Amino acid sequence: LFKMIKLDIKSELPTAIKFTNEHVKQLPFSISQALNSTVGGSRFLPGSQQSSIVKAMERTSQSAFNKPTSYTTKAWRLGKRANKRNLAAELVPKDLPGTGNREPHLRHSITGGIRGMKPFEAKIASHPLAKLPAGSRLVPATVKRNPFGNVTQKTIGAIYDSIGTGVFVGKPKGKGRPPGVYSRSQHLMKGTNTVADAVLRPLFIAVSSTSYSPILRVEQTARQVANKEFGNQFRFWLTKNVRESTRRGKADLNRW
């Protein structure tokens, strides 16, 4: 979804210590640990989880979207971890059992462009009584939405089950109304037992395509956190690893 961020490791090397052979030996492992903790945090480095790229993306998502759910704000995790032979850590959308794959949900908010057909649109369009233009996208009109601005699966199911009775899907005759999904209600003419023409209320309006503007600043957020956090975290891990090796009596402390 976004480009790899490159870091200048040399500029982050500690200058207040005398380098030994052990420091050189521990460099690749320490760099890999710093990459992983910068992206996802580490329980061994206090405060790193709150300052991680994953946590920053939660804050970025909260400001980018209008009343986002946790499915959107908590959509990121540390993917492939860095190791001393491959110094690259990945930030990826969650794709975990029980949570679903967030990547299709996020893609157009990151890249912009024409959005694909949503499952509920395909379901409604496939109804035998639905007559929508091929490839239509459905834009909410008066349909009921939850506090997060989304149409629930329960509402979609009720609309689908009512097609042909209380719901009309297609282009209404006359008055230049666009194709869409309409609720249909009938009432008696005043003072008579005669049923008046059905009153149509647009639930969704059908359009040929819809597009997104790129609003989720993933690369910019990741770069800002990496530039701020990586150096300190790298120096923490390097110092810790040299200290541990020294404690075990395995460190080569000859000056480099």
- Residue 199: the pLDDT is 85
Residue 195 reports pLDDT greater than 50: no
What pLDDT digit, counting tens, does each position of 198-208 carry?
789 999 999 99
**What dihedral angle (degrees, nearest 10) is formed by the CA atoms of 173, 178, 180, 185?**
-50
Question: pTM value?
Answer: 0.74
The span from the CA of 89 to the CA of 97, in Å, is 22
- Residue 66: the pLDDT is 84
- Residue 3: the pLDDT is 67
- Residue 213: the pLDDT is 83
The residue among 240 and 213 whose pLDDT is bigger is 240
Residue 191 reports pLDDT greater than 80: no
What pLDDT digit, counting tens, does each position of 102-114 carry?
888 888 888 888 8
